[in-house]
Amino acid sequence: SFLVSWTKGFKSSGVEGRDVVALIRKAIQRRGDFDIDIVAVVNDTVGTMMTCGYDDHNCEIGLIVGTGSNACYMEEMRHIDMVEGDEGRMCINMEWGAFGDDGSLNDIRTEFDQEIDMGSLNPGKQL
């Protein structure tokens, strides 16, 4: 899992473009006072659904509405053409946080949208 870029005001030098799992493993080794390993890296949306699904096995959606928004949902494998196999279910992360970063929303953005964007921590991102 490589960090492409920091968002939402987070900054730490020497991390962008690097494998965050390897960095965390090295930090754990340096501490030397506990023995754990990283088996998965998930975003807030998937983590939210997994946490709720632990108690409620009927949980179907993870939704984040905060400084940004995103969603994930459970889908039947038979409806997913990109992977082999029809058995079981898979979490689909919508990852719409960067929707519009490519300019696809420029035609409908108002002057107010542009003003807010220019005052944000990451202008042109997370529209």
Unique residue bearing structure tokens 């039947």? 76
Identified catalytic residue from 8, 19, 86, 101: 8
Residue 114's SS3 state is helix
Regarding beta strands 89-93 and 69-76, do their DSSP bridges make them parallel or antiparallel, or are they unpaired?
Answer: antiparallel
113 phi and psi, to 5 degrees? -60, -45
Please classify residue 70 by burial: count the beta carbons closer than 10 Å to its beta carbon, then call 0-12 exposed, 13-18 middle and 19+ buried. Answer: buried
Identified catalytic residue from 11, 19, 35, 44: 44
Does 11 qualify as catalytic in the annotation? no
Does 102 qualify as catalytic in the annotation? no
Alpha-carbon distances of 123 from 4, 7, 11, 110, 119, rounded to whole Å: 16, 11, 15, 15, 7
Return the active site residues. 8, 44
